[in-house]
Amino acid sequence: MNLAISGEVSIEEIEDIKDSVIIQNYSNIAYERSKEDDLLREQVEKGEKFNLTQQLRSPSVVTVFNTQSSSRKLFYVPLEGTIIADFDAHNKHFGIDITGRKNDVIKAIQSGTVVSSEWTVDGEYVIAIQHENNMLSIYKHNSAVLKRVGDFVKAGEPIAFIGNSGEGYKGPILHFELWYGGSPVNPRDYIAF
């Protein structure tokens, strides 16, 4: 086509050339699922777990949070895994540490606005979400974040991927904090992990 635009070849000469895509017979192509295809399918199917209507039928993932105003809110567990370190305000450990598997998806516990999404000097991504009722959730030790400051996220929506930067622990880990009214609270007091 560039030759026709420059005038070196006439358009009539180009129109006589058969398009290889048109004359191709695709009915004889043998389809075989690859390992990569299976992994992609697994990720997509796993992503369906983050659909709110589907979650409401699966109570093991949706949990209830009782605020001091006694209103009830649905919360998602940010990561299904094993808790290896509990909340300990006396030692300035303002959250819980949850182990997972490589490339596990971290989910927003509730709808809200991303107020922080950054790479830290500790070699990790941290994301924080401001929720209704003066609540803030913080997710640390991520290998990558999927949201930027100002993004609105829905409850259960993927926001990050688990990372390996936990201090004193080798392997995929999430440090999760929950703050209410500007003070850290023990996530286990409010969310059934």
Q: Could you tell me if residue 16 is inside a domain?
A: no
CA distances to 82, 97, 119, 148, 183 from 165, rounded to whole Å, are 17, 12, 12, 20, 25
Parent domain of 178: 51-189
Whether the pLDDT of residue 14 is over 90: the answer is no
Into how many domains does the chain fold? 1
Range name among 9-13, 72-76, 80-84 with the lowest pLDDT average: 9-13
Q: Could you tell me if residue 28 is inside a domain?
A: no
Q: Could you tell me if residue 15 is inside a domain?
A: no
pLDDT of the residue at 55: 40
Confidence of residue 34 (pLDDT cuts 50, 70, 90): confident
pLDDT of the residue at 121: 84
Q: Could you tell me if residue 97 is inside a domain?
A: yes
Q: Could you tell me if residue 34 is inside a domain?
A: no
CATH number at residue 150: 2.70.70.10
pLDDT of the residue at 70: 42
Residues of the chain with pLDDT > 90, as a percent, come to 48
Nearest to 105 by CA among 41, 170, 163: 163
DSSP string, 52-76: HHHHHT-TTTEEEEE-TT--EEEEE
Mean pLDDT over all residues of the chain? 79
- pLDDT (tens digit, 9 = 90+) per residue, 112-160? 999 999 998 878 899 999 999 899 999 999 999 999 999 999 999 999 9
Cross-strand partners of 127 = 117, 139
Residues 114 and 148 sit within 8 Å (Cβ to Cβ):
yes
Q: Could you tell me if residue 176 is inside a domain?
A: yes
Q: pTM of the prediction?
A: 0.64
- pLDDT (tens digit, 9 = 90+) per residue, 59-72? 334 444 444 444 45
What does the CA dihedral 161, 99, 68, 148 come to, rounded to 10 degrees?
A: -10
Q: Could you tell me if residue 7 is inside a domain?
A: no
- State how far the Cα of 178 lies from the Cα of 34, in Å rounded to an integer: 41
Q: Could you tell me if residue 26 is inside a domain?
A: no
